[in-house]
Amino acid sequence: MKKIIYLVAVVAISAMILPACAPAKPVQLHPVKGEFLEAQVGESAQTLNWIIATDQGASKRYASFMVEPLAVFNNQYKIQLRCLAKDIEVSADGLVYTVTIRDDLKWSDGTKVTADDYVYTLKNIMLADWLNCPDRSRWEETLDGNAVAVQPAVVNDTVFKIVRKTADPNFAYSIYGLMPYPKNIVRNYENKAEDFTTSPELNNMSYCGNLGPYRPTAWTTADGFVMVRNPNYYLARDNGAPYFEKYTIKQMGLQSSINEALNAGTVSYAYVEPQDANSFRGNKDLSVVTIPTGQFLMVAYNQRDNGWAGLKDARVRQAISMVIDKPAVVNDIFGGYADAAFSFIPPYSPWYNESVLQKTGMNSSGEAQKAIDLIKSAGYEMKDVDGKQLFVDKDGLPIKLIIPIALDSEVQKNVGYIIGQNLRSIGLDVDPKYQVQEFIAKEIFVNKLPGSDKTPDYNSGPGAVSSQPWDMVILSSYGDALAIGRSEIFFSSTGRLNIFGFFNEKVDALYKRALSAEAINPQSRQKIYDELAQAISEAQPADFIVYYKDNFALRSNIKGVEPGLNILSNYQFWYTE
């Protein structure tokens, strides 16, 4: 009898306690309403089966609405955990990476997302011989000249490890971007490349579960890529996100069509051209944000044997960089929508240190005499030619620098004009060669050793020259704000895109350190990057001119936006006021 009374008492007490311990209702910070329409000029994404896409990340971005990566970076390049439960742990030698995922991630069939899904995605899909994945090289390392796959392995349901044979300080950035496929589905397509590629469930991501804020409903030319809110989104418990009932990305073909739609109020967010940005600022229904980009413009100096010999001397390269007027390029060509550049490291990078750089080109006229003196110190003389003081070659003829310029690039034409004015101010003449871009790519960018029967390449090593002579060329490229060591593609002696023949032992040694275990430690890495940036700044193989800025227009009632390079990093939390 006492036992029965005891059990009744326990049940009664439990009944009083349980309501207090029940899970709290999800917090709804902002109401869910309306549609967000992002307009783009041209189609770029190919498929939601992102792992096979060849569109430089556009498909992966579409897919990430449904299955988020492990982490993203905000505008200050601080890590923002998504499917990660905590940041990646890296062993002191940089060879073992331990990844811990959240335990509340689920596929559409209700099963848990596990470490096994991530490992299978890497081992059996990304690195599979039967499927040609464009990003495969990110998960390989080079041993004895051969590409060897890294080794992922499951530790438990929420933890997996990736083991390398060699250290790579940039490898964690690849891991942060990893998105899983469900093993229980994709294993049915193993060794069946065509079936994998065309599978409806992989191409409509019906498996996405709670891994992303939206779910796809349609993808047509007329309507665009249409998604609806995912009420089961794993981050919704804390804030009720996302706050739009529908999110659409629509290709509108022409910038003029986007501008009309912005004025009509039918587009929520879109890129706008610099010449239109100011007019949109006058529209009370729109907010225009200007953000930095990773794209930069530089002038490369030809240090190969078919360029002016003076360009092999760092003093001459420094002198020319001193007088290329960067404020004029920023204001007269880009209308203020650019920043003066001094390094291959973007100024918004957490690794950027302006104190180690030579800030050339900011006082062009004021440094003209210093530039002249530098060129003279390299052994060149000036003489009067038709009433003008010009630098002359060993035969007494005026030096004229050849600058190939793309006919279809207004930016190159305008920058080339400013460079011509600047160089004439210090006694150097220019010879612009206007050519189609295809000609420049084939006759200027690629080179080979004279007499060699090898196919020309962007860097065929010392002694190689292009088929046409040149001295300076205007290039546009992208600066990686995080993986600084990858810039070796331009500036190391063996860099695949070292078209200008820059061979510097000190720089090569620094790149080797930047890509070694020494750089695993952040403090050591910063020191190496500082030394590298300083060495390249002093050597001046190229003059970094500007970093571009982009303008985006948003409806003024859209809140939660944090303007910056990674403006879309928190799109899940944008809302309508």
Domain segments of the chain: what residues?
26-42+213-285+556-577, 67-195, 293-365+401-420+429-550
Residues linked to residue 454 through DSSP beta bridges, in sequence order: none
Predicted pLDDT of residue 27: 81
| Helix runs in 324-475, H state only | 326-328, 368-377, 410-424, 437-440
Nearest to 71 by CA among 207, 160, 172: 172
Superfamily of domain 26-42+213-285+556-577: Periplasmic binding protein-like II (3.40.190.10)
Residue 389 CB-density burial (10 A; 0-12 exposed, 13-18 middle, 19+ buried): exposed
Largest Cα separation within the chain, whole Å, is 122
pTM for this entry: 0.90
Q: Can you tell me the distance from the alpha carbon of 91 to that of 81, in angstroms, rounded to the nearest whole number?
A: 20
Q: Can you tell me the distance from the alpha carbon of 252 to that of 240, in angstroms, rounded to the nearest whole number?
A: 31
From 2.60.40.10, 3.20.20.80, 3.30.70.360, 3.90.76.10, which CATH number describes the 67-195 domain? 3.90.76.10
**CA torsion angle 184 187 188 190 (round to 10):** 170
Tell me the DSSP string of 12-49: HHHHHHHHHHSPPPPP--S---SEEEEEESS-----S-
From 1.10.3720.10, 3.40.50.300, 3.10.105.10, 3.90.1150.10, which CATH number describes the 293-365+401-420+429-550 domain? 3.10.105.10
**Fold matches, 67-195 and 293-365+401-420+429-550:** no
Predicted pLDDT of residue 18: 36
Predicted pLDDT of residue 159: 98
Phi, psi torsion values for 509, nearest 5 degrees: -65, -40
Predicted pLDDT of residue 44: 79
Predicted pLDDT of residue 25: 63
- Please give the chain's pLDDT, 577 residues, in tens: 333 333 333 333 333 333 444 455 668 899 999 999 999 997 679 999 999 999 989 999 999 999 999 999 999 999 999 999 999 999 999 999 999 999 999 999 999 999 999 999 999 999 999 999 999 999 999 999 899 999 999 999 999 999 999 999 999 999 999 999 999 999 999 999 999 999 999 999 999 999 999 999 999 999 999 999 999 999 999 899 999 999 999 999 899 999 999 999 999 999 999 989 989 999 999 999 999 999 999 999 999 999 999 999 999 999 999 999 999 999 999 999 999 999 999 999 999 999 999 999 999 999 999 999 999 999 999 999 999 999 999 899 999 999 999 999 999 999 999 999 999 999 999 999 999 999 999 999 999 999 999 999 999 999 999 999 999 999 999 999 999 999 999 999 999 999 999 999 999 999 999 999 999 999 999 999 999 999 999 999 999 999 999 999 999 999 999 999 999 999 999 999 9
Q: Can you tell me the distance from the alpha carbon of 115 to that of 121, in angstroms, rounded to the nearest whole number?
A: 10
**242 prior amide bond cis, ω within 30:** yes
Structure tokens of 554?
Answer: 């948003």
Q: Can you tell me the distance from the alpha carbon of 287 to that of 493, in angstroms, rounded to the nearest whole number?
A: 46
Predicted pLDDT of residue 12: 34
Structure tokens of 279?
Answer: 């007019």
